[in-house]
Amino acid sequence: MRHSPPLTSDALDADSGSPAAEAPAATAEDHRTSTTQRIVDAITTAIVERRLMPGTKLAEQPIADIFKVSRTLVRQALMQLSRDRLITLEPARGAFVAQPSVEEARQVFVVRQMLETALVRQLATRITPTQVEELRAHLVAEREAVLRTDVPGRTRLLADFHVVLARLLGNEVLAQLLADLLSRSSLISLMYQSSHSAEHSQDEHVAIVEALARHDADAAAALMEHHIGSVERNLSLNPRIHDLVSALAPSAG
């Protein structure tokens, strides 16, 4: 039986400001497309930042109310998210945040390992001092989020690190592919308990950046392989239970 936490406007935080005035050249279709993408981006971010849990029901009308749009645009956004495997659409039941299987989880990490070891190996041969400083600034932000126990912030930053690497390589296709894989990885992390701490993950990022700064392609690739592999190895096969008492007790005290 599916346990579905309620969808709230806090979880799915639409832009509270007034929409910017539409440029004269913009068409109605452009506006619909941008609105649909805004909904897609908001739901994706909420999943990555652990504000939407696996199994959460995504009812069309509440989402339409949050974004002040028609259910048609919400339905288009949900279809796109379904194609990206972030949600599932069930006949007569609606849309739910996906609950990846153990086998799917393993496959995602295998693909990430293949892509990202090749990525850092190539990046190590061409990275510039300016790019190294950009990565180190990102590491500082990661460390600060870890130290202040900012779970949504650190989750987003730890994931973004991998996308930043692809963008520094100048490969936007790879960056988008990794962003999609990392969104699915976030779902997997929510589904399966992991003893792999955020602090440990951040330390591994530091080691990868230092190898890149030395232009040591072999070390960077080995460190990335170990980093992704250690996250996978620490996945538990038991899905996280939706426990209302433990979820709400900290806020009720």
- In 3D space, the residue among 194, 186, 192 whose CA is nearest the CA of residue 162 turns out to be 186
Phi, psi of 95 (to 5 degrees): -105, 140
Q: How confident is the model at residue 246 (pLDDT cuts 50, 70, 90)?
A: low
pLDDT at residue 3, as a whole number: 54
Q: How far apart are CA 140 and CA 144, in angstroms?
A: 6
Question: pLDDT over 70 for what percent of the chain?
Answer: 78
Instruction: Give the range among 132-141, 231-240, 241-250 with minimum mean pLDDT.
Output: 241-250
User: Is residue 53 within a helix (H) or strand (E), and if so which, with residue range?
Assistant: none
pLDDT greater at residue 195 or residue 129: 129
157-209 pLDDT, tens per residue? 988 999 999 999 999 999 999 988 988 887 887 777 554 577 888 999 999 99
For the entire predicted model, the pTM comes to: 0.69
b/e 23-46 (16+ beta carbons within 10 angstroms → b): eeeeeeeeeeeebbebbbebbbbb
* Residue extents of the structural domains in the chain: 1-99, 102-237
59-95 pLDDT, tens per residue? 999 999 999 999 999 999 999 999 988 999 999 899 9
Q: How confident is the model at residue 16 (pLDDT cuts 50, 70, 90)?
A: very low
Matching fold, domains 1-99 and 102-237: no
User: Is residue 220 within a helix (H) or strand (E), and if so which, with residue range?
Assistant: helix 217-233
Q: How far is CA 212 from the centre of its chain?
A: 24
Q: How far apart are the first and last CA of the chain?
A: 30
pLDDT greater at residue 234 or residue 58: 58
Task: Please give the average per-residue pLDDT across 41-60, as a whole number.
Answer: 87
Does residue 126 carry a pLDDT above 70?
A: yes
Q: How confident is the model at residue 102 (pLDDT cuts 50, 70, 90)?
A: confident
Indicate the CATH number of 1-99 among 1.20.58.340, 3.10.450.50, 1.10.10.10, 3.10.28.10: 1.10.10.10
Instruction: Report domain 102-237's class.
Output: mainly alpha
Q: How far apart are CA 149 and CA 51, in angstroms?
A: 15
Mean pLDDT score of the chain, rounded to an integer? 83
Do the Cβ atoms of 97 and 83 come closer than 8 Å? no
pLDDT at residue 22, as a whole number: 47
